Structure 1
Amino acid sequence: MSAVLGISAYHGDAAAALVVDGRLVAAVEEERFTRIKHCAGFPHRAVRACLDMAGLRAAEIDHFAIGRDPRAHVLRKALFTLGRRPSLALLTDRAKSSSRVHQAPRTIAETLELEPRRVARRTDWVEHHRAHLGSAFLVSPFDTAAVCALDGFGDFVSASWAIGDGTTLDIVRRVYFPHSLGLLYLAITQYLGFREYGDEYKVMGLAPYGEPDHADRIRRLLHLTPDGGFELDLTFFRHSTQGVSMTWEAGRPTIEPVYTPELEALLGPARDPAEPLAPRHEAVAASLQLVFEEAVFHVLNALHRATRSRRLCLAGGCAMNSVANGKIRERTPFEDVYVQAAAGDDGTALGAAFDVWHRRSGAPRRFVMEHAGWGPEFSPAEIRAILHRRTDELGRQGCEVREIADDDELTRWTAERIADGKIVGWVQGRMEWGARALGNRSILADPRRADMRDVINARIKFREKFRPFAPSILEEAVDEYFAGASRDPFMMHVHAVRPEKRASIPAVVHVDGSARLQTVSQQSQPLYWQLLKAFAKLTGVPVLLNTSFNENEPIVHTPDEALDCYLRTRMDVLVLGRATVAKESRG
């Protein structure tokens, strides 16, 4: 047996992933244990959970793979320092960051109670973007492909593209600090008043409400180079000279504003987070999304010219922009696109682990990620014990608990309640890896009801009204409902809903007629597929509204967390494995 533990640490979305004999056996983010969104720092609990899921002792881990390399691009860093004369604050911040990464082997040893020198000898540092590239290609269904990583920054790089062949990645181009598409999107996200770490997806959801009237102004922030690269106009950004601090007090990541007063002079006053959204803000969001897409397709078309591949693997924080992803086949020559479930920094744990396993073993690939169920799960006995422990509490809340052992009966019973307008919490199997709830820790509802978005927001989610809800659809029905869509088990692409189908699923259709879909196959997710099939039999619609099982917190991990969320919100039904919980007044 050969085991490699991959670790993403010391930035947002800390995570761990375990590869044994060339196959992924466990992967999970630290936030699911700490209950802090995008939890940063070192993933102590995720590391231990991966070993528990695999049934391995710490001493059985052959190598530790860190998705950072503080030695990478040292000459470029030195030349930048000499040429730009950055502030003392920036230099101090970078020194602290490098020091933390260097301490990773010692932290691993403390977490797993191993001898530090043994861990140090078995630690491999994987340059951040190589880890991103590996996370996309080395688990893809492609033997060869063009591979691209786009993010904020990591190890002094913000973009890299490569040729993937078998187990090798030949990096053919990089874009270095201080230029970054991820930083461009972050700056405008902050300018629009969305200040929390990871809020870029809100701007993507806001963009369809506006017209791109400010596109020419935002284009002034970015220059596209003839070789397929890009450069920021640093007049509008603070990071290259003044420095931008990222902290994680108690694990909560925070980034200072990255834009300068010149951006406000160009676009007008920045929005205060408490200020209501106005048409001007919607127009800025639409303009940013348009310019971002222009830059992404500029990069990808250059990558295609360099590789002539029809297959593309995509990773990095920018690969979470599902609107851009959905247009790749239309705006570039690429025909097949693969984006795995954790395309952001959490995915570097996965990429680092596979990179090291293949490099150390010399063995060919033997794994394809086809579903996201790589986290912890709870047995029927554990669920029964939790429900028994909370019997009195559930009784006081007027809850009826029953067990339905037969899958056909369980899915039929659940589908009937969804079709009757009930909101259902659905907890099944292993928790999802990545940011999306994909039918393992989901809240499900009827997409046929136009008011269902408002109902879920008012009763459970309490989030911005402009944010859309997503559909899960039977894989075999995707072409019937979506134009230009193909298999997408990870909900990473937005596509247009066919005009004739929009009225039948209004709760999951965004203002521009699009939806970020998840396709569900019988092979990869048999029980969730069976539920969709049962709902289709009842209603004629093979689609469910699927949103993450949470209320302004990370997706629920344990049955206790699911019960807590169910009891404090106005959810109607909870299905925990084969156990059902329903309040009498709720159905």
Structure 2
Amino acid sequence: MKKPIYIIGTGLSHNGSAVLLKDGRICIAIEKERLTRIKHDGGNDALAIKYCLEAEGIKLSDVSLVVQTANFDIPNPKQFKGKRIFNDENSPEIITISHHLAHAYSAIGTSPFSEGAVMVIDGCGSPLSQYLALHPEEQKNIDVNLINESQMRCEKDSFYHFYDNKLTPLFKDFSEMEELTNDHLRMPTTKHSIGGFYAAISNYIFGDMEDVGKLMGLAPFGRTNKFNFEAFEFVSERLYVKEDWKNNFTNPSKGYDYFKEHFSYYADVAKWAQEQVEKAIVNCLNYRIKRFPHKNLCYTGGVALNAVANAKLQDCLSENTVFFEPAAGDNGLALGCAFYGWIAHLKKPKLMHDGNTCFGKQYLQEEINEIVKKELNENFKKIFFENEAQLLLYCAEKLNEGKTVAWFQSGSEFGPRSLGRRSILAHPGIENMKNHINRNIKFREDFRPFAPAVLKDSVTEYFEVGRHSPYMILVDKTKPEYLQQLNNVTHCDGTARVQTVDETWNPKFAKLITEFYKHSGIAVLLNTSFNKKGMPIVETPLEAINLFKETALDILVLENTLIEK
């Protein structure tokens, strides 16, 4: 029997992760934050790599290749809070690639295309010096004046072409780093990046540069045309962030109470920033596609997580087929590293991906039952369902009655969205359900929206465009006749961040929505991540039980075991 080829991909950034490829296909992957329980955790990758090896039942000696990336030069191991797993002569070959290259290969490896264009837009990629050290053959494509500058410049957007298993850079833009100051509108990354701009606005409004997702949720409450100045400009098809817009924003939030007191002002700022970002993204892609046309486009990098901008982009590029990488942030770097190892380094053909984005390990029912027996007292109702149909029927009836259900099934999702493996589910139309979940289960701000998970064949019934959106990464408009039935999953501007549920890789979740449809007449469920504010999505049955006990959740389903308060 032929020995399989295992490749480890690992991202040494914030939002660290590890991926194990087996003969060119993903067999296991995990984000570090799911294991350490620290949001956006990165650095030392030993824990994530051990998780992957143990889940697959192999040793490091079975691995043929390790591919890694880091924004800056790989630091001394001491800076990674302990030794890495590769610390003896028996370790596999290790190669390092640049940041945007890893982003690009994450989209290539998971896309349905055998060839196409690839766009990467984020806050900060590899420094130019590191990029040229890793890829010296690219020096001929970089302006000599840029190379001779003493100030550090980093990747901010890159455009590639993938064909015949080869990725060719067509247009790369580098930006100098922003100076380190205490300015509340300081760009945290490169000076002229879309991602840096969005993070700066997030810091201005929330006091946290990691809260960019909240910014997108706040924007619909704001008013268009409240501010009439521009944040971005293009010079010779290169994007720059202007400086003068900052003079108009002199009232940074002083905490959540202050934010609530001045809610309409901060919503207006968020609306302006969101619209500026949308225009910048669309213009940037239009420039690149016009110059290097191709019908297929992969889009990735942290900025590609902006679901509102993605929908605008899809509409503007109606002649193109666009694949939005679901793990577009730095958590996806490990995916790209692994695929680079298979395709570029080992010269193996790209294998078509099935669309699945759930790569966590499966927890055995026996293990779950032991934890339930140990951690839950007799005050909880416990039912084990031998028959899946009976479980689905029971849950659908309870959801239709207005109960909230924590849904823990199979391997966890890879990426920022819960897609029916680690989800909190509820009725999309029962009055005040959204507020109840935000206040008593998620413990987060009341303006935060929830997503509708809809059977993919029913999406055109409820939503105006009917976008194919299996990764909850595109918005649509709820049809007027369904606004009441979907009031908990429709934002204040009538939009919804839709998840179209694909039964080919999410069968049990699709069956649950189908069963709910029979009882409610609605082929949609409210879906949100199984966590609370500031917490990574739960990974283990024990974490699920602890959160269930801590919150106002009514029901917890762990595979075929149901617990009810």
TM-score w.r.t. structure 1 length? Answer: 0.84
Relative to structure 1, the CA distance from residue 336 to residue 138 in structure 2 (aligned partners, 3 Å threshold; closer, same or farther) is same
Distance 1:573 1:527, change over 3 A: same
Cα distance in structure 2, aligned partners of 1:561 and 1:340: 28
> Aligned-pair distance for 1:310?
2.4
Contact 2:77 2:83 in 1 (8 A): no
Find the counterpart in structure 2 of residue 19 from structure 1. 21
Task: Give 1:499's aligned amino acid.
Answer: P
In 1, the alpha carbon distance for the partners of 2:322 and 2:284 equals 15
State the 1:369 CA deviation.
4.9
Distance of 2:364 and 2:399 partners within structure 1? 25
Query: Which one of the candidate residues 197, 204, 207 is aligned to 1:195?
Result: 207
For 1:477, which of 452, 458, 464 is the aligned residue? Answer: 458
Give the secondary structure class of the aligned counterpart of 1:530. Answer: helix
Is the deviation greater in 106-115 or in 201-210? 106-115
SS in 2 for 1:297: helix
Change (3 A) 1:545 1:13: same
Matched with 1:554 is 536
C-alpha RMSD of matched pairs (Å): 2.0
Deviation readout 1:539-574 (Å, 9 max, x if unpaired): 111100001111221111111111100011111011
Residues 59, 311 of structure 1: alpha-carbon distance in 2 compared, 3 angstrom cutoff:
same
1:177 to 175, 178, 188: 175
Structure 1 runs not aligned, ≥5 long: 71-97, 237-261
Greater CA deviation, 277-286 or 558-567?
277-286
Q: Please list, as runs of the form range in 1=range in 2, the aligned pairs for 1:317-356 lying within 5 A after superposition.
A: 317-356=302-341
Counterpart among 97, 100, 105 of residue 126 in structure 1:
97
- Counterparts of 2:491 and 2:553 in 1: how far apart (Å)? 23
Answering whether residue 407 of structure 2 is matched by residue 394 of structure 1, we say no
Q: 1:491 aligns with which of 472, 482, 487?
A: 472
Name the CA distance, whole Å, in 1 between partners of 2:361 and 2:452: 24
Q: CA deviation at 1:372?
A: 1.9
Taking structure 1 as reference, are residues 436 and 561 closer, same or farther at Cα in structure 2, changes over 3 Å only? same
2:249 to 245, 261, 267: 267
Amino acid at match of 1:383: I
The structure 2 residue matched to 1:378, chosen from 354, 363, 385, is 363
- Whole-Å Cα distance in 2 between the matches of residues 112 and 170 of structure 1? 32
CA displacement at 1:368 relative to structure 2: 1.0
In the alignment, residue 272 of structure 1 is paired with which amino acid?
Answer: K
Paired position in structure 2 for 1:7: 10
**Offset from partner CA, 1:89-117 (integer Å, 9 cap, x none):** xxxxxxxxx3xx144699799443641x5
TM-score by length of 2: 0.88
The within-5 A match list for 1:125-524 is 125-155=96-126, 156-178=154-176, 179-192=192-205, 194-217=206-229, 219=230, 221-227=231-237, 229-233=238-242, 235=243, 263=246, 265-274=247-256, 275=258, 276=260, 277-390=262-375, 393-395=376-378, 398-524=379-505
| Cross-structure match for 2:140 | none
Partner SS, residue 504 of structure 2: coil
* 3-state secondary structure, aligned to 1:159: strand
Unaligned runs of 5+ in 2: 127-153, 177-191
1:86 matched residue in structure 2: none
| Identical columns (%) | 32
Q: Secondary structure at the match of 1:216?
A: coil
Per-residue deviation, 1:118: 5.0
**Does the C-alpha gap of structure 1 residues 405 and 306 become closer, same or farther in structure 2, counting only changes over 3 Å?**
farther
**Distance in 1, Cα, partners of 2:194 & 2:349:** 34
- Following superposition, the deviation at residue 335 of structure 1 comes to 3.4
3-state SS of paired residue (1:19):
strand
CA distance in 1, matches of 2:115, 2:106: 14
Task: Tell me the secondary structure at the aligned position of residue 484 of structure 2.
Answer: helix
SS in 2 for 1:443: strand
CA contact (8 A) 1:7 1:67 kept: yes
> Residues 108 and 169 of structure 1: is their aligned pair in 2 closer, same or farther, counting only changes over 3 Å?
farther
**Distance in 1 of aligned mates of 2:438 and 2:564:** 20
Q: How far is the alpha carbon of 1:22 from its aligned partner?
A: 0.5
Distance in 1 of aligned mates of 2:322 and 2:431? 32
Cα displacement (A) at 1:342: 1.1
Number of equivalent positions: 516
Q: Does the 8 Å contact 1:215/1:290 carry over to 2?
A: no
Residues 179-198 of structure 1, C-alpha deviations (whole Å, 9 max, x = no match): 21111111111111x23342
CA deviations 1:273-293 (Å, max 9, x no partner) are 231243221111111111110
